[in-house]
A = this chain, B = another copy of it.
Amino acid sequence: MVLSRTHHISQQFDKELEEIRSKVLSMGGLVEELLSHVLDAMSKNDLELAEQIAASDYRVNDMEVDIDGECTAILLRRQPAAGDLRLVLAISKIIGDLERVGDEVKKVARIVSNFSNTGSQRSYYVGVLAMGYHVRRMLRAALDAFARMDSHAALEVAQEDLEVDKELEAVMRQLITYMMEDPRNIRGVLDAVLAARAFERIGDHADNICENAIFLVEGKDVRHVALEDVRQQLEQGRGT
């Protein structure tokens, strides 16, 4: 296996790369935190917390702009070779996905902040919440795989995305029955549908983060490649 992390002429450059990686992990930590809070707000009917989350989105955006600017500066100043270039490019994509997760969290926060205080909607959100907890675990595992440069772990997480899609289908089916039961439920249940869709997207972004972690470690673009094929490629890579 090629050692991608050769010694840099400048220790300063190593430090810069390390800083930018740790900023990505901070950004990831913030997004995870907001996602956890929105799940709390949803489960506890906490409208105030939801409003706070919806208003915190700018922090994620600021971090994206900051990190992206540093990526550009590094490319200009350092003209990195293959391994480091991959790191910078992977980071540039990962922060795009994190920013979009932030957008989805904000959408869910807005939905929750419009909950009425009656709590009548609780039953609609049982399956939706389960999806939310699932994609939160996926997001954390995706960021861990990136932090540890572990392409096999990344592949495991990517495979879970298919389960999230199945969960969404089941949730949708259930929500439709609530709508049919009583047309007065329709507006409320439609919000639950949109929240479920937002969680599904977060799963997609976790999946993208994993693909970028694999690209970073293996130097292979595995987007749009069947997961079974990726697994075989990784196994072969181990064998050689």
Contact = CB atoms under 8 A, between A and B. Distances in A.
Interface residues of A, number: 33
Interface string A67-92: 01100100110010110011001001
Contacts of A65: 221, 223-224
A7 interface: no
A82 B77 CA distance: 10
B187 A176 contact: yes
Contact of A224 (B61, B79, B82, B85): B61
Interface of A: prevailing SS: helix
Contacts of A64: 223-224
Interface stretch (A10-18, A36-44, A178-186): A178-186
Contacts of A187: 176
A69 B221 contact: yes
Given A58-B224, A186-B179, A193-B190, A76 B69 contact: no
A93 interface: yes
A224 B58 CA distance: 8
A37 B48 CA distance: 45
Interface in A185-214: 186-187, 190, 193-194, 197
Nearest to A89: B72
Contacts of A96: 93, 96
A183 B177 CA distance: 10
Interface of A: 58, 61-62, 64-65, 68-69, 72, 75-76, 79, 81-82, 85-86, 89, 92-93, 96, 172, 176, 179-180, 183, 186-187, 190, 193-194, 197, 221, 223-224
